[in-house]
Chains A and B, each alone.
Chain A
Amino acid sequence: NAGVTQTPKFQVLKTGQSMTLQCAQDMNHNSMYWYRQDPGMGLRLIYYSASEGTTDKGEVPNGYNVSRLNKREFSLRLESAAPSQTSVYFCASSDSGLLNNEQFFGPGTRLTVL
């Protein structure tokens, strides 16, 4: 089991460029999440997908879009990157059958927007 995988691991963009961050999980989890992690701010939820076919906004959705492509894959798109989106992005998944909503995280994508 690979768990949660993310691509790419690193990316540098110029302001205004677009890109898609990919995430896949092989644990047959229903729910998937995108977070960003910034110094002093902790993990902030961008978007989540409770189940295949549904997506919802989290705490900081502005400037992002998501697609739940199938049960395994959940992508995050930056249409016009801004320096404020420089961050480390984590994808996570969880099994809706677990009472405590334990989330399993990927290794992260480090994004720099110049």
Chain B
Amino acid sequence: QKEVEQDPGPLSVPEGAIVSLNCTYSNSAFQYFMWYRQYSRKGPELLMYTYSSGNKEDGRFTAQVDKSSKYISLFIRDSQPSDSATYLCAMFTGGGNKLTFGTGTQLKVEL
């Protein structure tokens, strides 16, 4: 079983929809939770990060962490075609140098 599980999709939604992307994990030592966005044929770039449990909002994006359930989510409101990308969750214990990535969910927002 992988340390981080993520549904690969693809997920296709109409423009303006609310999108929910999720990851589950098994290592209770993870403390930092990140979402990277990767456009086709590009490198990943950090979209948001949260520390421990709770919510964090940045514009149309909300990251949510539930450590008791080992479950994290990224919500995208009023989705746009420019949001079409692969979204990777990543986690870090706070020690060492390694991030643990999910496999990524491919999102397509259609006009």
Contacts and interface: CB of A to CB of B under 8 A. Distances in A.
Contacts of A99: 32, 51, 94
B32 A100 contact: yes
Interface stretch (A14-22, A60-68, A71-79, A105-113): A105-113
B34 A100 contact: yes
A101 interface: yes
A82 interface: no
A34 interface: no
Contacts of B88: 42-43
Interface residues of B, number: 22
A108 B92 contact: no
A90 B44 CA distance: 9
B44 A105 contact: yes
A101 B32 contact: yes
Interface stretch (B14-22, B64-72, B73-81, B97-105): B97-105
Contacts of A53: none
Given A100-B34, A107-B42, A108-B43, A42 B101 contact: yes
A32 to B, nearest CB: 10
B57 interface: no
A interface, size bucket: 20 to 34
Nearest to A51: B97
Contact of A31 (B8, B42, B97): B97
Nearest to A56: B97
Contacts of B29: none
A107 B43 contact: yes
Interface in B33-51: 34, 41-46, 49, 51
Contacts of B104: 42
Nearest to B44: A105
A102 interface: yes
Interface of A: 4, 31, 33, 40-43, 45, 48, 50, 58, 90, 92, 94, 96, 99-108
Interface of B: 6, 8, 32, 34, 41-46, 49, 51, 88, 92, 94, 97-99, 101-104
